[in-house]
């Protein structure tokens, strides 16, 4: 399916108008593939009277059948036999329901150049080795969590000298080691090589607070970065604004605001969203976002708050062309940002309140809550 490669090998990573034609062709081909190979998706399309040839303009993307992420947490659907998959990931690994999303080899060949292109654009790629401290799960055969894969993937933008994980698998479960993480950061501060911290924002905030309360601080080497993946999840009531988080990182770790990067994505939508220098999530050419009314699901204009609908033709193995998240957000014209990008940017406000969804971050938070800082 060359239309997918043609889109994801696009060099102009934020040129939405210039990529519209490629995006629409890839979406039509992707939908046609799922209709042919996935009975459940075909039934949904037939029930809605949808066919791929209805997608001729960007506005027509709203006609795509929208499957909520909750659907994938309760039903396993596939457009490809398992033996043809490159790998499979899940959205949660500790408790509750979870999505299972398969990745085909064509997806991998499209995803790698996308990640590298955006990594270079945002100056994440460096030939200088780094020591990594990951406030998250250590990947292994015992789980297939997408968040573990994402965090592990982020350790490849600079050659890893070492990787330390705050959550490790032991005796059938994950065991937190926050004390070890603090010790490793202290060692990183004495190293001539930069450090890179990969973490959920909430874990970083709580960890740095405890370090500061103990009267401790450290200065990580020049070139060190903080890479934040995911949101505040069930800690949304304790969420702090970004300036406070960045200020604490500079006080406690010596990492300046320009060296803090945030990422947004989902197992069901593994497109690389990275904040710009103004800390906004501009939509890359490999994705489109529709904000929908929470009651009618009709598309909303720029600036209005609703449910976030994510669209990409990246995956053939699972019918996730158009998925509805349980996130509330809104879009803003790119020109309002001031970073130079003209692509609209997405602001996530929080979860819509689906209590029966347990996320990977929620499960990890429970585990990390059992640990104590030194």
Domains and CATH numbers, the chain: 2-83+284-351 (3.40.50.12780), 114-265+358-368 (3.40.50)
Of the candidates 313, 316, 320, 325, the residue with the CA atom closest to the CA atom of residue 351: 325
pLDDT of residue 118: 94
pLDDT of residue 350: 76
pLDDT along the chain (374 residues), means of 10: 90 95 97 96 94 97 93 87 82 59 90 93 95 82 62 90 84 74 90 93 83 85 90 58 89 93 88 92 97 93 95 96 92 95 92 48 43 40
As a whole number of angstroms, the distance between CA 309 and CA 321 comes to: 10
The answer to whether residues 362 and 354 touch, using CB atoms and an 8 Å cutoff, is: no
Positions of E strands within the chain: 67-68, 85-90, 100-104, 130-137, 160-170, 173-176, 195-199, 225-229, 260-266, 269-274, 281-282, 288-292, 306-311, 322-332, 345-351
pLDDT of residue 140: 62
The answer to whether residues 233 and 365 touch, using CB atoms and an 8 Å cutoff, is: yes
Q: SS3 of 160, please?
A: strand
pLDDT of residue 151: 82
Cα-based distances in Å from 131 to 43, 73, 262: 49, 35, 19
């Amino acid at each position: 399916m060359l239309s997918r490669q043609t889109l994801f090998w696009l060099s102009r990573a934020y040129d939405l108008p210039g990529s519209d034609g490629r995006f629409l062709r890839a979406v039509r081909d992707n939908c046609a593939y799922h209709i042919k190979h996935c009975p459940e998706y075909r039934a949904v399309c037939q029930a809605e009277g949808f066919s791929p040839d209805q997608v001729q303009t960007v506005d027509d993307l709203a006609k795509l059948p929208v499957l909520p992420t909750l659907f994938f947490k309760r039903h396993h659907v596939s457009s490809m036999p398992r033996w043809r998959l490159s790998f499979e990931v899940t959205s949660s690994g500790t408790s509750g329901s979870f999505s299972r999303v398969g990745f085909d080899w064509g997806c991998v060949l499209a995803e790698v150049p996308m990640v590298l292109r955006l990594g270079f654009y945002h100056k994440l790629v460096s030939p200088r080795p780094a020591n990594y401290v990951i406030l998250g799960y250590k990947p292994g055969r015992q789980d297939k969590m997408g968040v573990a894969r994402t965090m592990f993937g982020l350790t490849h933008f600079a050659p890893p000298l070492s990787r330390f994980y705050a959550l490790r698998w032991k005796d059938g479960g994950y065991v937190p080691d926050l004390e070890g993480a603090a010790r490793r950061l202290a060692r990183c501060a004495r190293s001539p090589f930069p450090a890179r911290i990969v973490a959920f924002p909430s874990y970083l905030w709580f960890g740095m607070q405890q370090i500061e309360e103990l009267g401790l601080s450290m200065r990580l080497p020049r070139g060190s970065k903080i890479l934040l993946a995911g949101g505040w999840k069930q800690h949304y009531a304790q969420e702090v604004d970004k300036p406070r988080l960045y200020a604490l990182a500079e006080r406690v770790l010596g990492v300046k605001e320009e060296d803090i990067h945030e990422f947004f994505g989902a197992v069901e939508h593994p497109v690389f969203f990275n904040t710009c220098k103004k800390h906004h999530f501009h939509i890359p050419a490999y994705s489109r976002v529709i904000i929908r009314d929470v009651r009618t699901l009709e598309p909303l204009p720029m600036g209005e708050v609703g449910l976030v609908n994510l669209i990409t033709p990246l995956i053939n193995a699972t019918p996730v062309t158009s998925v509805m998240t349980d996130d509330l957000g809104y879009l803003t014209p790119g020109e309002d940002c001031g970073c130079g990008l003209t692509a609209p940017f997405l602001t996530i406000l929080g979860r819509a309140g689906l209590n029966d969804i347990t996320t990977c971050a929620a499960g990890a938070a429970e585990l990390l809550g059992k640990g104590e800082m030194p």
